[in-house]
Amino acid sequence: MYRFLLTPRWLGGTALAVAAVVVCVWLGSWQLGRFEDRVTTHHETEQSLTASGETRPIDALLSPASPQVTTETVGKPVSITGSYDTEHQLLVPNRVLDGKQGYYVLTPLRTADGHAVAVVRGWAAGSPSGAVEPAPTGPVTVTGRLQANESVGSNGAVAGGLPAGQLGMINRASLLNVLEYDGWYDGWVAADQVPAGLTAVPTVQPQGGDGLTLRAFQNLGYTLEWFVFGGFVIFMWFRLVRREAEAEQDRALGLDPVLD
């Protein structure tokens, strides 16, 4: 009854169905691997953010060979020695901490070679105001945690349109537009020791760097879609085989419909 499967038409159709299933399984497995990679990145980033580690000079993590803050270095404790540029303190509004709206207090720290580090000395609740304890004068050594550059839409960051003395987004490009120093270190540093009236800023998860973004769940959705497509091909092949077998059986019994 199933000898029709050996005919050229059915051999070709079966080969095509097998190829389609193989492609669906391969694409589904590839999308699943992408999802698993993003989940692994998420766990590694979480471990990096929660690990205390040894405090190292900022130049040990941001060197000419590796000048950018990455998911491997974000949250790492660093130390910087220099002098605060107290005349160019910036307030960064629309920053939420513990469910409360507030702002960061950012004071540039100039190193001996003229470079600058964006140091967030703490967070205060409410609207930006100048009623903040001034940064110390003279040489200081600041310890804190490396933070990734902000981008529009991350943690309240905006591109511009703020009054003088305020900064909408903490990244090298925005800082260069405000203060033209010889050079800025990438990212910023959240100071561990904060003045009275401010709260220490915890390590901020970099946008899109933790692995569990919308794209990660899109990968998971695509995985299910490809596996469903593969299952549908198998279902349709068996359904066509069954229908053909029933037709063969009807012909063998002389039950073919009579055509006028």
Q: Is 162 helix (H, G, I), strand (E, B) or coil?
A: coil
- Given pLDDT bands bounded at 50, 70 and 90, which one contains residue 47? low
Q: What is the pLDDT of residue 45?
A: 61
Q: Could you report the per-residue pLDDT of 179-197, keeping only the tens digit for each?
A: 878 788 998 999 999 988 8
Among the residue ranges 78-92, 138-152, 242-256, the one predicted with the least confidence is: 242-256
- Judged against a pLDDT cut of 60, whether residue 170 lies above it is answered with yes
pTM of the model: 0.62
Which of 158, 250, 191 is closest to 58 using CA atoms? 191
Number of other residues whose CB lies within 10 A of the CB of residue 117: 24
Distances (CA, A) of 84 to 140, 180, 204: 8, 15, 23
- Give the pair of three-digit tokens for residue 27: 């694409």
